[in-house]
Homo-oligomer: A and B are copies of this chain.
């Protein structure tokens, strides 16, 4: 085996990377999330090679994060996020928060998020699912779980 297979590692990061661990997949998911659903649109917006776009779309469909859906009597398809895929957007939202803070520079962030619940432009924060307080790298201990390697 030449390229490493991440899907079998006992690590949820590695397994997630098997789904979206090269740079095009997150950008494809981003585009589909903002409403660009067709091959031609994706290809021209991203500037990705057609071959690689085909591979990535098939892979994302295989992994259950996208659904391929015909939209015409002719063989025309659009790609839509499944529930599993929509939750993967969480990862992108956190990438946006980090990129906005550390890489946006003078110009400021390229896009803004307005939160429906409060109507404000804001960004995403990480909190504890149990107590709701902030939860970042330094706020946790990492313990072995039931699915840990033997």
Interface membership of A113, Cβ < 8 A:
yes
Q: Note all chain B residues with C-beta closer than 8 A to A122.
A: 128-131, 135
A141 near B114 (CB under 8 angstroms)?
yes
What is the oligomeric copy number? Answer: 2
A76 to B31, CA, bound (A): 44
CB within 8 A of A139: which of B115, B130, B133, B139? B115
Q: How many residues of A contact B (CB 8 A)?
A: 85
CB within 8 A of A12: which of B86, B109, B135? B109
Main secondary structure of the interface of A (DSSP, over half): mixed
Contacts A108-B147, A132-B132 hold; do A115 and B94 have CB atoms under 8 A apart? no
CB within 8 A of A13: which of B18, B30, B47? B30
Q: Give the Cβ gap from A9 to chain B, nearest Cβ, in Å.
A: 8
A83 to B141, CA, bound (A): 18
B12 near A143 (CB under 8 angstroms)?
no
Q: Note all chain B residues with C-beta closer than 8 A to A142.
A: 34, 111-113
